[in-house]
Structures are given as structure tokens and as C-alpha cells.
Amino acid sequence: MSDFLDYGVIKRKIESEVCSEHNEYSKFIKTAKGFQINSCCESFKMKLTEKVKKIITKQTEIAVQKMFKKVFKK
Ligand SMILES: [Zn+2]
């Protein structure tokens, strides 16, 4: 996992989601190797994992765009 990822944003987005089946919130935990999601059931966890991947992809795209802008300014 890269340094430019904003885990605070990811955490807020994931922990604001509620399981449609059990009405429970999940817990997003940043680990040394990446992240972990504690949730009431596997299907909710899978849904949240997909969401995290999408957010990470988006943040990566933005970071790359910023890097390119910096390069071309010089
Ligand atoms: Zn659930």
C-alpha cells in the first residue's frame, strides 16, 4: 500500500455504511500490510472490501494525475 492513500477518508466512508441485512456498522482497521474490515457477516465484508478497492483506485488516479502535473510544470 502506498503512502499517498488517505485512510482517514476510507475509514469514514466504510464505517458510515450499514449492513442491509443486520443493520450493523463495521470497523475499518489500518494494518501494516493494508487494511482489515470487521463486520457482522461475510457478504457485508465483501461489499465493503469492493468499496475500499474502488476508493483506493480513485485515490491512486488522483495521486498520479497530481504527480504528472508537477512533472510538467518544471
Ligand atoms: Zn451483516
Ligand 1 center from residue 60 Cα (angstroms): 29
Interval 14-61: pLDDT, tens: 999 999 999 999 999 999 988 999 999 999 999 999 999 999 999 999
Ligand 1 center from residue 21 Cα (angstroms): 5
Kind and range of the H or E run holding 27: strand 27-31
pLDDT: is 33 or 1 the higher one? 33
Ligand 1 center from residue 49 Cα (angstroms): 14
| 69 alpha carbon, distance to own chain's centre | 24
pTM (two decimals): 0.83
Q: What is the pLDDT of residue 5?
A: 87
Ligand 1 center from residue 34 Cα (angstroms): 22
Q: Tell me the three cell numbers of residue 52.
A: 475500499
pLDDT at 62 over 50: yes
Ligand 1 center from residue 39 Cα (angstroms): 7
34 — alpha (psi -120 to 50), left (phi > 0) or beta? left
